[in-house]
Amino acid sequence: MGNGDIIGILDLTLLDRGASEEDLVRLCERAVAHRVAAVCVFSEHVRFVRGLLPEEVKVASVVGGFPVGWRDPTKVSKAISEAIDFGADEIDCVLEPTPNGGDASEEDLQILSAMRDACGEKTLKVIIETPLMDEHSIRATSRLAMASGADFVKTCTGKRGDCTDEDARILSMEANRHLVTMGERKGVKISGGIRKTEDARRMLSIMQKEGISTGNPNESRIGASSLLDDLIDGGLGRN
């Protein structure tokens, strides 16, 4: 993949509740200039950035607690609805792992169902926090999320550990498994500590080998705040 192809699946991220209007304007200017897939911000910034962006650049809103997800389905549903009312096209929502690190539960199903119902036809990306889970739990949780209607499964917030090559591989395998068993194509979003072109390219290669179309923003995304600088620079480290 060329650097421009990677930029085309990038969710350019600014998750700073104290971000100024100048910060947000600069974010949107860069998003438009380089044609990223989406801009990802907190819900309180959605209305402002939506007004600055053309329709083809999506606005993704982080809701439902970040980086620690809420375990109250009603509270999660209300937050999603508010973000959509503000103009969000996509929702990134943390499914907080169970405290004992066990398998996905009935409570998880209720939260996921609330997410899907509140999103309606909007794109739902469920963050499963892979750094806090073993492989069995990652697989079980991603399967439940996709079966519950998530459009994407996303590795992590990056606040409690970074995305690994193995995380990218496992989620891609599970998305392909869902396609084979259910006939539905789901997307994979990798995020958390992805700052260099070489790292993004390596993870995307892993995803592609597992059946993910890495040039299609409906199937693959990268969430990052500083990766764009390295991509523009050609991966030469002068950012």
Cite the active site residues. 92, 154, 189
The 10 Å Cβ neighbour count of residue 120 is 10
* Tokens describing residue 134: 């073993």
In whole angstroms, what is the distance from residue 115 CA to residue 81 CA?
Answer: 9
**b/e burial code for range 84-114 (CB count within 10 A of at least 16 → b):** bebbbbbbbbbbbbbeeeeebeeebebbbeb
Phi/psi region, residue 21 (left: phi>0; alpha: psi -120 to 50; beta: rest), is alpha
CB distance 3 to 216 below 8 Å = no
In whole angstroms, what is the distance from residue 192 CA to residue 160 CA?
Answer: 9
- The alpha carbon torsion through 193, 196, 198, 202 (nearest 10 deg) reads 20
In whole angstroms, what is the distance from residue 51 CA to residue 196 CA?
Answer: 30
* Tokens describing residue 197: 């072109």
- The alpha carbon torsion through 101, 104, 109, 114 (nearest 10 deg) reads 40
